[in-house]
Each structure stands twice: as structure tokens, then as C-alpha cells.
Structure 1
């Protein structure tokens, strides 16, 4: 079946050579008992080897073009494929063997050991986090009304006074109040440092003068006299006021400066007084009720999740984890919660005998049923694979698996033929 000479071919050639040698000895020494025995044995060995070569070759092809009852495997390929499918389904995947192998597997210890490996735990937790993230994003739009209703209920329970008090404490604790004052001071300093601001201060001083003098002739006379002798110079006064204003804004924008602390203390004092006013209390409650009634929370929630979903899809297209990219704290917390539940589940399965037996029985039944249902699928696969093979490929598939045995069959034909030939020769000599 393969290219080149194999052991059986070499054996047959050796036997043929011995036959030629024995024949030449017989012709040279026609009355020699040894030459006759050697010729008889080599002839029988050659016939046996050729007969077995013919028989083995006839299984796969037509030896010497002989057409009758040869090339058995290609001619009976449909029956061979059907028998192979039956063998695989009934023997390799029989119910008895499947369940016997499953009983030897010890499914639960293997599964629990695999689940407890750090790499597997990290991978499974990550997959669960991604699943929860995608599930929440898919459900968010459908549940927008419920989410908005819950938000409205939560906001309705918040008292405005408590909210303002908490907001003030948060500003103080985080230092946002000082940051806010610094930004305001920096903004007004940039506005007050311009020439236009100085001209506005001058215009205010002039307007104040006009307001105070009015139609009083004597006051107008004194003001004109003061300007004439340069006793009152509005340009210099505006510049001086501007410098003083800038110095005050610089101090206000300085971290923990006396003016900044005084300003913040005054702010919190007045805010606390305002928070205790009944009128302010009534106003804030009316404002809260009005906002909760007219605030489009549903639309806001839908748009928020639409934007989140869009960003998440863009990040996934770039192979970037959206939660890790935008909400790392949320992802860390979600991973922590899922990991805790994951380990608690393993602990329960391992230590609760009833649960352990239930899960083990379920897995055993699931794997057994899956393997039994795989019989049909395996049959289809085997049929499809074998049907795609050509006759030559099918011959090689079978021959390669049993080649050593077939070669020994051929060699045994020569060996047995030689033995029988010697035995027959001996019997003939005895009877003669």
C-alpha cells in the first residue's frame, strides 16, 4: 500500500531468490535429496507468499487487474462507513461506558479545584462583570420610567434645609468652598485690572459728585474750586481705588488668608441664618415640589443611558473596557461584590452536603445526557468525514492502522508455505 519495499515485499523477493537458487541446484544435481527438498520448500513458500499478497491486496485494490471479488473495501465503502458509525455509537459511546467513565471522573472535586484557581477565578469574575454591565445597559432604557420614579421618590424625601446643611459641610470638608472663592477672586481681579474698569470707577465717582451737589450752587462752586486747585482728582482716585480693590482681591484669592476666612465665615453664618428662616423654608419646599413635578427625569435618564451606551460601544470597538475607562471605582466595587458572591457560592457548594450532592447529581446527569445525545452527532460527523474520503484515502486510512499485521500475514504465508512444503516433501519420501 505504501511506496517502496516493505518487510513483506522483501521477504517475498528473498523467497523468490531462494526458489531460483533451489531450481538451479535441482537442475545441476537432479538426484540430490537436499536440492529437491530446498526446491519443494521454496516453491511452497513462494506460492504461499504470492497467495497472501494477492489476498491482502484484494482487500484494497485489484491485484494485477483481477476484477472478481477484489477491491473489497472501495466496493463496500457504504457498508464500511455504516459499520464504523455503529461501532462508534454503540461501543465507544454506549450508555454503560459513558456513565462508567463519568463515575471515574469525580466531577465535583475537579470542578471546584478548577474554579478555585486564581487565574480561572479572575477570568470568570471579569466575564461576570462584563455580563452584568451589558445586561444593565440593555435594561436601562426599558426601565427608565422605574429609575426616574425611584429618583423622584428619593428626592422627595430630602429636606431642603438638610440638603443645604450637608452641602455646606461637603464644601468645607473637601475645600471646594475655598477653591470657589479663589476662582471668583481670580475672575474679578482680571475684570478689575483693566483700564476700562478704572474708567468705570472714575465715572462712578463723578456720578456720585453730581448726585451729592445736585442743584446746590454753593456745593457746585466748592466742587469746581476743589477741581481747579487739583484738590480732587478723580483720575488718581480711581487709580487708587483700583489698586486697593486688586490688593483686596489678591488677598481674597490667597489660600487661608484672613480675608478669605472672614468671607467664608460670614457666608456660612448668613447661610445658616437664611436656612432657619420660615419664609425661606416655605420657598425651598415650594421650589422642590415644583422641580420634582416638572423635572423631565425620564427623558434625562433615557438620554444619559443613550450617551453611556454610545460611549461604551465606542470603547468596546477600540478593545477598551468602558467601566475601567470611565468608571474605575464602579468597576472595582462591582468586581469586589461579584468576587465575594463567587467565593461564597464555592464555600456553600463545598460545605453544604445536600447542595453538594444536588449539584453533583445535576452535573452528572447533564454530562451523561449530553454525551448520550452526542451519539447522533458523532454518527453524523463520522459519516461526513468518511464519505468525503476518496477510495485511495480510505484505503490508506484502514491500511495504516493494520499495516504491521497485514505485513506479517504476508510473511507468514511464505513461512507457513515453506513449512508445509517441507512436511509434504518428507511425507512423499516416506511413502515412496
Structure 2
């Protein structure tokens, strides 16, 4: 406003024109043209000065005039409140916010953003770090209770009959039943080959013989057979041991007839046993007692604490504990996150109901955020304007309407000259009458 502008030039020109007109009028006081020229120049100068005073009075006191001048600095509080209201009610009104939001197609934008490789990698990485940091939090007791509770709940919901049936099917399909039977036969074979086994057979035969020869005649015949070496318990025990080892060897041979027959018999009896009501009640009772007595909280708590200490030590060394010590788990976790991310994105693309639900949620979220931003914008505008000095506030307003204010001042001189000419003509005509 202190810079020289075209309005100041026009006003200065009006002043020089007035001086020239006054000089001409003084030289030719009887000339009508000289009088009209002076009248118009005088009106233009007065109009220009009046509009200069009016425009300047909006921002400061022109020539130190104190009454109803410097309007903007004196009314700055009202101006700030009006500006805040205008921004909130006009620029950020509820109607305009919702109208603009309706023009955005949120779901296509969201799906395109989620489909970008950079977005996918960033979200997957954040999910991985969240899962890892979950183990480093201090509220481990609550986590232990939750994990133990879930394990107990899952164990209690297991039906033993289904569990045994699935185990049997898994053993049969994987061939582990044959491997287990082979290991069992090998173990029993090692036990059966020991001298103690032969002695146990011999003792059993002697006991059996004594049991069957309690009568006088039987005792006499048994003694006679022993004297004639017709009954040798040691040899019989050795034969039984040898036969037992042969049976165990055949049982341990993969796909041998004995092994197949034994497994078929096992599965047949297992089905019968699995359908027995008494076995059903016994297994359920055993399951419930086992679930109730398992020290899950204590065991999980100790494991969790050790894992936290280990992870915390690695975090202090700025080392990813999972990636360093459990690379398989790290890669598998990354695969799971990637698979679930892809599945969720596909579901979001194909499920129209889910799209509507997510879109409605996003629309409400953005709308509510924008409505809250309405008051926040008002606070920001008020704080910014309140920190401005009077000169800065004047400059802010003046720069926005400077061309119009300059034209107001120039129009004062132009309109003043025009009105002056009209008045001179009217007065001259009435003077003749």
C-alpha cells in the first residue's frame, strides 16, 4: 500500500490538471470552456481524494484522522471470527464435504492401491514386524493365559474317536504303521534274544509242569520222564525263544504276510474298540482329566519368557532373531502373510457385499474425519490470523483485493470529473434562464 501505483498516478495527474485548469481560468475568467475545465478538474480532484481517503481508512488512519478510520485493525477480532465462520460454513460445510466425497469412487482407488507391489511389500513387512513385536511386549502373563486357554479349548473340543480314526488313517496312508511295527518288532527281538528271556521261558515251563503233575500218578510219570531225560525244560525254552525271534523277525519285515495280517487285525479291533461305549466314556474322562491337569500356563510361561529374553537380546544387537535363528519360520511366516494378503485382496475384488461394507465404512470414516477437520480448520485459521500484526493483516487483505481498490480510487476521479461536467452544464443553463 505504500508503493506507488496507478491510482496514485491518476490522483497526482488530477492535481496537476486542476492547477493547469486554475491557471487557465485565472488567465481567461470569462471563457466558458476555461470555467468548465476548472469545474471538472476540481470535481475529479475532490472525487479522487475522497476515494483515497475512504480506501485508506479501511487499513489505517489517513492524515492521522481518528474517527472511523483503521477499520480492519480496530475490527480485527470480528474479521477473524467472520473469516473462521466463512471457512467452516462455506468452504468446509457439511453439504459441500459430502457432495465432494460422493464424487470419489473409493473402492477402485483402494483396490488399485492395495494391488501395487510397493504397497503389498510394505503392508506385508509391517504385518511381519507386528507379529514379531507381539512376542516382545511385556504383558506376557495375559498372552500366556490366552494361549493356554485356546489350547485347552481346542483339546477339550477334540473327539477321541475322530482323533483315533484320523491317526489310524494317517498311519496307514503314510506307511508309518509299518515302520512303527518294524521298530517295535526290532525292540522286542533285542529283548527276546537276551538270556533272561530263555530263563523266563524255562521257569514258566517248570511252573506249568508242576501245576499239571500234582497227582501221585502224574508225579511218578513226571519223575520217570525227567529221569529218562524225556522232558528238558532248558531245550524247550531255547526252542520257544528261537521261535519267538523268528516270529518277530517276520513281523518286522516290511509287507510280510505276518505284518499285513497283524496290521489288518489291529485296524479291525481298533474300529470295534472305538465304537465301544465303555471305551468312549473312558477316553472322554481321560481326555478331560488330562486337559485339566496339564501345566500349560507354567510351561508356556517359561518358554515365552525365554523367547522374550532371547529376542530382546537380539533386538539390542539390531538382529532379526526370527530370520537369524529360525529362517524356515521366517520364510513360512512371510508365505502365510503373502497368501492371506492375496486371498483378502481377491475377496475384496469379488465379494460385492464386502465391497459395499468396506466402502460404506471408508465413506463414513472420511466424512467424519472431514467434519472433525471442519472445527480444526477453524482453529488453525483463527490461530494464524491472530498471530498476524496489524500491518501483516492489512497487507493480507489488501493484496487479495488490490486491483479493485485501485479502480475504486481511479473511478473516483473519473466519476468526479463526469459529474462536475454535468453540474457545470446544468448550472450554466440555469444561469442563462
CA distance in 1, matches of 2:106, 2:64: 57
CA contact (8 A) 1:141 1:305 kept: no
Match of 2:421 in 1: 422
CA distance in 2, matches of 1:19, 1:277: 135
Match of 1:306 in 2: 308
CA distances 1:82-126 after superposition (whole Å, capped 9, x unpaired)? 111211221122211111000011122222222222222222222
The change in CA–CA distance for 1:275 and 1:370 in structure 2 (over 3 A counts) is farther
Give the Å deviation of 1:5.
Answer: 0.4
Matched residues, number: 306
Give the Å deviation of 1:23.
Answer: 2.1
CA contact (8 A) 1:89 1:378 kept: yes
- What pairs up with 1:30-179 in 2 under 5 angstroms? 30-138=29-137, 141-142=140-141, 143-144=143-144
User: SS in structure 1 opposite 2:66?
Assistant: coil
In structure 1, the gaps of 5 or more residues are 170-269, 280-291
CA distance in 1, matches of 2:71, 2:139: 67
CA distances 1:279-311 after superposition (whole Å, capped 9, x unpaired)? 9xxxxxxxxxxxx99xx8556514422323323
User: SS in structure 1 opposite 2:3?
Assistant: coil
CA contact (8 A) 1:148 1:298 kept: yes
The change in CA–CA distance for 1:113 and 1:59 in structure 2 (over 3 A counts) is same
CA contact (8 A) 2:135 2:308 kept: no
- What pairs up with 1:22-421 in 2 under 5 angstroms? 22-138=21-137, 141-142=140-141, 143-144=143-144, 277=190, 297-298=299-300, 300-315=302-317, 323-324=322-323, 327-421=326-420
CA distance in 2, matches of 1:346, 1:147: 29
CA distance in 1, matches of 2:146, 2:426: 106
CA distance in 2, matches of 1:326, 1:31: 113
Give the Å deviation of 1:78.
Answer: 1.4
CA distance in 1, matches of 2:396, 2:121: 44
CA RMSD, Structure 1 to Structure 2 (Å)? 3.6
User: SS in structure 1 opposite 2:58?
Assistant: helix
The change in CA–CA distance for 1:307 and 1:25 in structure 2 (over 3 A counts) is same
The change in CA–CA distance for 1:64 and 1:111 in structure 2 (over 3 A counts) is same
The change in CA–CA distance for 1:34 and 1:278 in structure 2 (over 3 A counts) is farther
Match of 2:241 in 1: none
The change in CA–CA distance for 1:62 and 1:109 in structure 2 (over 3 A counts) is same
The change in CA–CA distance for 1:275 and 1:106 in structure 2 (over 3 A counts) is farther
Give the Å deviation of 1:145.
Answer: 7.0
TM-score (norm 2): 0.62
CA contact (8 A) 1:144 1:301 kept: no
Match of 1:173 in 2: none
Match of 1:196 in 2: none
Give the Å deviation of 1:130.
Answer: 1.5
Give the Å deviation of 1:331.
Answer: 3.3
The change in CA–CA distance for 1:35 and 1:120 in structure 2 (over 3 A counts) is farther
CA distance in 1, matches of 2:53, 2:116: 60
User: SS in structure 1 opposite 2:40?
Assistant: helix
CA distance in 2, matches of 1:401, 1:118: 45
Give the Å deviation of 1:312.
Answer: 4.5
Give the Å deviation of 1:62.
Answer: 0.8
User: SS in structure 1 opposite 2:103?
Assistant: helix
Give the Å deviation of 1:14.
Answer: 1.8
